[in-house]
Structure 1
Amino acid sequence: MSLFLSGFLSVILCDSRRLTEYVLIQEYKTWNEARNFCQKNYIDLATVQTDEQWSEINKLRAKYLSDTWIGLYDDVNSWRWSFHDEHLTYARWDKYQPDNYGGDQDCVILHSNGYWRDKGCDLKYVFWKACTKTFVLRLSS
């Protein structure tokens, strides 16, 4: 039995000077549709965990002036990022957010003002995918 190792960059379009690059996918999808699309074709929905990343995604957002999905969701007990299912440690909530208006706002948009708002996951918005410098190793026998 032999092991076959292969490695490849997760997304070739990443800028070699950055660890994360954000790209707007201009298709309207629900949060789950957007997440599935990103996980199948790229890496995942955008994760924002530092002031630098927040500034970067906001510079891009300013060009489009639309609300967009990011990879943050409420799993009942806490807010988590869809990428690696990480707990929220950095936040840029809009004033009075999250408010869970109507009791079913479990997903998050980057609002056109640059801050985060919780929204119903079945609404349709365009979305950001994150391109991350990651190697994936496949082991097969």
Structure 2
Amino acid sequence: QNLFFSPSFWTLLLFLWFSSLCWSDRHQYHFVNEVKTWTEAQLYCREHYTDLATVDGEEDENALVAAVTAGYSGLVWIGLYSSLGSWAWSFDNSRFYGPGEENFRKWSDNQPIHLGGNLSKMAG
């Protein structure tokens, strides 16, 4: 079996966010360097924070990348998964999203890369 497809060997980065006590449009991301499957990562995030990371735009993407430990360039889990061919965010509180934001549709050509499981990847 190819090591690349074995999540148990990946260094897992969990990007977590949680809402502050006051409403804020900004997400807060946390870097957690642990080996977990996507489901284990989601459970960990929900127990310790709110959920796996969501990204609402370029500003969030930049903050997410900035949260990565310097020099890391591996694969990471984020809160995006495929359900019956439709990609959606892990965080399922519908009050958080505006109309149509629960499903993620903004992809480049030949994306997302789906490696046979509920995952998305990004390089930090």
**TM tier relative to shorter chain:** 0.5 to 0.7
Paired residue total: 97
Counterpart of 2:38 in structure 1 is 31
Structure 1, unaligned runs of 5 or more: 1-9, 113-141
CA distance in 2, matches of 1:78, 1:17: 28
Counterpart of 2:104 in structure 1 is 88
Contact 2:45 2:51 in 1 (8 A): yes
Q: What's the offset of the Cα at 1:56? A: 1.3
Contact 2:113 2:120 in 1 (8 A): no
**Following superposition, which runs of at least 4 residues in structure 1 exceed 3 angstroms of deviation?**
none
Task: Give matches, 1:61-76, under 5 Å.
Answer: 61=68, 63=70, 64-76=72-84
Counterpart of 1:133 in structure 2 is none
The residue type equivalent to 2:103 in the other structure is H
Task: Compute the TM-score of the two structures, normalised by the length of structure 2.
Answer: 0.63
Q: What's the offset of the Cα at 1:17? A: 7.6
1:78 aligns with 2:86: yes
Task: Give matches, 1:21-60, under 5 Å.
Answer: 21-60=28-67
Q: Percent identity?
A: 30
Task: Give matches, 1:122-133, under 5 Å.
Answer: none
Superposition CA RMSD, Å: 2.9
CA distance in 2, matches of 1:71, 1:82: 5
Q: What's the offset of the Cα at 1:99? A: 4.5
CA distance in 2, matches of 1:77, 1:61: 29
Counterpart of 2:111 in structure 1 is 97
Largest Rg, 1 or 2: 1
